[in-house]
Each structure stands twice: as structure tokens, then as C-alpha cells.
């Protein structure tokens, strides 16, 4: 079910490992042209383009793109007690963990009268995307909204695709959770068009441009995010999900198999990778995978994901090599189930979120751990971070120098500005001490 990549008796370089890591056969670049057309259509025709795109891609034409306040309230009130309690528990946990991500202001005194202050300023307005497709993701509403609120964002808009099964409305659970979080600006729009609408605004429906777009989506959402960078900020080009498990022969093969299956359940392009120094353990996992897949609801989807080029069993000589491979892969979700998990953790540089031990499965992070599940996919964890309160904050430096402090560093400024052949820079300092043409 999973192909094997055998790295034993070899020590590939990082560049060689990057060539070896399994990846889904998706190409964001190939989606750029159609995504650009959809964005340009929204910029040109506004709500009419969004309605046409919903009819084309979501197989339903909403009555309107903007979700009414009455619909949001009704959806909130219709949440079952069980779902509402689960959502409120998740909100509480994510809010607590997100609060720890907000840096405290800091002041550095470099000398008498010479002060640099560090402050973290939230963006004023954000657009949060919650995908539709094969599943409904109320948890993604929480994961997007809560860190933005904790960061102090004043204006939050949320978009999710129209649902044919719900008469062109967004999924009522999505609407209900948004209302529960106090979000009253919600749009039934999806895909690249939604990202373009956030970036450029749609005046006809009162949608003002945002300063940052976050949230997962398909390859066209990822392509649209790439296209709007420079107009608005993004979190990352999130694509199909992935999990990498580092395990040795002390791990429980059935639990590892269950975790691989849990992520493969998302999408046929989801990646599930096991890295182990024990061929015997790998065989036990493969046996349990077959049983687990056969017993679960979305068996066909999972089997396609596990048999795809993005999924594999990787055999290594030792856990040092396992960590090297994990760093090259840059997993969205990395599980470590080995004898000395902390020793392996110390070698990990690149991962979106890391789950330690048999009782910290990725599913915990998807819902109730308090961590955020909007994470970089497709190896982007090698350079990008997961969604957090910091995503919505910008570090700013506030400089406060008095006359004596400026006079003290004036020679430094004069020397450097002269070396760079920018004399007016130095003159802007000496002007303050009476040097006028």
C-alpha cells in the first residue's frame, strides 16, 4: 500500500534528500493562469463574477454573496449542544495558547536619551478562508478567527464556499461557529475568486480589501494566494495535508497506522510518510494499515492517498538519519514515537507542528490540543510557520533620541553616509546642530 524508499547504507546530502522526499503531483504554478483569470473576473465584475463562479465550481448559485445577520444567528442557535460545547472548549484552549504567542513590548536603552522600543502592532483587517469540498471544517473557523482576535485585529471577514446541499448557503455549522465567535461579516464565496475578493475588495457588497489572507484551500486557493502577495499578506500557500511519523520498534504499529490513515482521510493527494530504522516495525505498520483502511468509511480516498507518490515508508539506518529526512521533508504534522523522543526532537528544525509520544496524535492538534492546525504544507515548513497570533502582528521599532544622544552618534552617521555617498543623510543630522547652507 505504501511504497518504500530505502536509505540504509547511504548518507544523502540535503540536496539529495530534497530530491528524494515524496511529494504529491500538484503544481501550484500550473494553476496560476486559471486563478489569475478568476481573480481578474472578480475585480472586473464583482458580485456577479462570484455568483457565476459559485454556480460553475460549487454547482449552486447563492441568492447573495454576503451572508445575512439573520442567517448567522439562526445557524448559531441551531448548533447542537454537543457541538457547541466542543467548539467552546476548542476556542478556550486555542485562545489560551494563542495568547502566549503575542510578544511583550520591549524597551532597549542604548545610552542616556537613546531609546529603541519594540512594539507588535496588529493589522487592522483580515480575510479568513474556510474551505468546503470533501468535509466541513468548523475547527478551521476557530483556528483562523481566535488568533486574529487575540492579536487585536479589529475587522475580520470570513469566506467559505456556497454549498449545493444547503441551497447556496455556506455550511450552517461554519456559519454557526462564526456567529458564536462574534464574526458578522461572512461571505458565501470560494476558491481563487474568494482570495481575489479579499485582496482587492468588492465595493458592491461592502467588502473592503484586507491586509492579510489566511486559511487552507485547494491548489487554486494556493495559486491565488501567490498571485495576491504584494497586494495583501498571506499565511502560506497551504495545499493538501501531510503527516510524517518518525517511529522505532518501541512504537505501537496500530497507533502509527491509525495516525497515517487519519490524515490520508482528508484528500486523495494527502501525504502519509513513515520513517523508521526498523524494517520489521514497518511491516507491522503495513499490516495494520490494511486492516485500518478496510474498516473506515473513506477507504477509497485513503487508499488512493496511501498509494500515491506523496506517501511512503522510508527505511533509515538510525534516528539521526530519520531527523535529517524529516528536516528535508518539512512536514506539516510531525509525530515522534521513539524511545528518546527529546533526543530526536532536538535534531528537528523544520516542521509545522510536532506531536510527541503515543498520546499526542495529530487529531489532537486538529481539534483540542490548543495548538493551531492551519500549518504550512508541501515542504513549506522549511521556510514558513503555522498560523498563530504572530501571523496578524507586525513588529515595529519606535526610536526616541534626544539632542545629546543624537550628537553622540553623529560622527557614526557622518562616516557611514559619506562612505555610501549619501551626504544628505549626514547633513540631516548636522542640520540639527546649526549647520545650515
Residues classed as catalytic: 332-333
- 393-397-398 Cα angle (round to 5): 125
Q: Phi and psi for 409 in degrees, rounded to 5?
A: -95, 0
Place of cell 486538529: 366
- Neighbouring CB atoms inside 10 A of 19's CB total 9
Write the CB contacts of 176 (distance below 8 Å, at least 6 apart in sequence).
Answer: 72, 75, 76, 77, 78, 79, 138
User: b/e string for 88-123 if b means 16 or more Cβ within 10 A?
Assistant: eebbebbbebbeebbeeeeeeeeeeebbeeeebebb
Please, are residues 178 and 148 in contact by the beta-carbon 8 Å criterion?
Answer: no
Q: Which helix (H) or strand (E) holds 173?
A: helix 172-180
End-to-end CA distance of the chain: 80
For the stretch 39-44, contacts whose Cβ atoms lie closer than 8 Å and that sit 24 or more positions apart, written own/partner, are 39/192, 39/193, 39/195, 39/196, 39/199, 39/200, 39/224, 39/227, 39/228, 40/196, 41/193, 42/193, 42/196, 42/197, 42/200, 42/202, 43/196, 43/200
Q: Which helix (H) or strand (E) holds 144?
A: helix 138-151
Please report the beta strands in 64-154, taking only residues with DSSP state E, as ranges in sequence order.
Answer: 106-111, 114-122, 125-129
- Following CA atoms 183, 187, 192, 197 in sequence, which dihedral angle do they give, to the nearest 10 degrees? -90
Please, are residues 42 and 193 in contact by the beta-carbon 8 Å criterion?
Answer: yes
Distance (Å) of CA 421 to CA 50, 410, 413, 414, 415: 52, 16, 12, 10, 10
Return the C-alpha cell found at 293: 483502511
Please, are residues 391 and 384 in contact by the beta-carbon 8 Å criterion?
Answer: no
Amino acid at each position: 500500500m505504501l511504497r518504500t524508499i530505502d536509505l540504509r547504507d547511504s548518507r544523502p546530502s540535503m540536496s539529495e534528500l530534497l530530491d528524494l522526499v515524496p511529494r504529491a503531483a500538484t503544481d501550484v504554478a500550473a494553476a496560476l493562469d486559471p486563478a489569475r483569470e478568476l481573480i481578474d473576473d472578480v475585480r472586473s465584475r464583482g458580485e456577479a463574477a462570484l455568483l457565476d463562479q459559485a454556480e460553475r465550481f460549487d454547482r449552486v448559485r447563492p441568492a447573495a454573496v454576503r451572508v445575512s445577520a439573520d442567517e448567522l444567528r439562526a445557524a448559531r442557535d441551531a448548533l447542537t449542544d454537543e457541538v457547541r460545547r466542543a467548539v467552546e472548549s476548542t476556542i478556550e484552549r486555542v485562545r489560551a495558547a494563542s495568547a502566549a504567542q503575542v510578544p511583550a513590548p520591549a524597551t532597549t536603552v542604548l545610552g542616556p536619551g537613546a531609546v529603541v522600543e519594540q512594539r507588535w502592532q496588529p493589522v487592522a483587517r483580515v480575510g479568513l478562508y474556510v474551505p468546503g469540498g470533501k468535509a466541513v471544517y468548523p475547527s478551521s473557523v476557530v483556528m483562523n478567527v481566535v488568533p486574529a482576535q487575540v492579536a487585536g485585529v479589529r475587522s475580520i471577514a470570513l469566506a467559505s464556499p456556497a454549498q449545493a446541499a444547503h441551497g447556496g448557503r455556506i455550511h450552517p455549522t461554519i456559519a454557526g461557529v462564526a456567529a458564536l465567535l462574534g464574526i458578522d461579516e461572512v461571505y458565501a464565496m470560494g476558491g481563487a475568486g474568494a482570495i481575489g475578493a479579499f485582496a482587492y475588495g468588492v465595493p458592491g457588497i461592502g467588502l473592503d480589501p484586507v491586509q492579510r489572507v489566511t486559511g487552507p484551500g485547494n491548489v487554486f486557493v494556493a495559486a491565488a494566494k501567490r498571485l495576491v502577495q504584494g497586494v495583501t499578506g498571506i499565511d502560506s500557500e497551504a495545499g493538501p495535508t501531510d503527516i510524517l511519523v518518525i517511529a522505532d520498534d518501541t512504537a505501537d504499529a496500530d497507533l502509527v497506522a491509525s495516525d497515517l490513515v487519519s490524515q490520508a482521510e482528508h484528500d486523495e493527494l494527502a501525504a502519509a510518510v513513515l520513517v523508521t530504522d526498523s524494517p520489521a516495525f514497518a511491516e507491522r505498520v503495513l499490516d495494520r494499515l490494511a486492516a485500518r483502511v478496510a474498516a473506515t468509511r473513506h477507504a477509497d480516498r485513503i487508499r488512493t492517498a496511501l498509494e500515491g507518490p506523496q506517501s511512503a515508508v522510508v527505511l533509515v539506518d538510525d534516528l539521526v538519519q530519520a531527523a535529517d529526512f524529516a528536516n528535508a521533508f518539512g512536514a506539516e504534522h510531525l509525530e515522534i514515537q521513539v524511545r528518546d523522543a527529546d533526543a530526536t526532537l532536538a535534531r528537528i528544525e523544520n516542521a509545522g507542528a510536532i506531536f510527541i509520544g503515543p498520546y499526542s496524535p495529530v487529531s489532537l492538534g486538529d481539534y483540542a490540543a490548543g495548538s493551531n492546525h492551519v500549518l504550512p504544507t508541501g515542504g513549506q515548513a522549511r521556510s514558513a510557520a503555522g498560523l498563530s497570533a504572530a501571523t496578524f502582528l507586525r513588529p515595529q521599532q519606535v526610536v526616541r533620541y534626544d539632542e545629546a544622544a543624537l550628537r553622540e552618534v553623529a560622527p557614526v552617521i557622518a562616516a557611514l553616509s559619506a562612505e555610501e555617498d549619501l551626504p544628505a543623510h549626514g547633513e540631516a543630522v548636522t542640520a540639527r546642530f546649526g549647520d545650515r547652507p
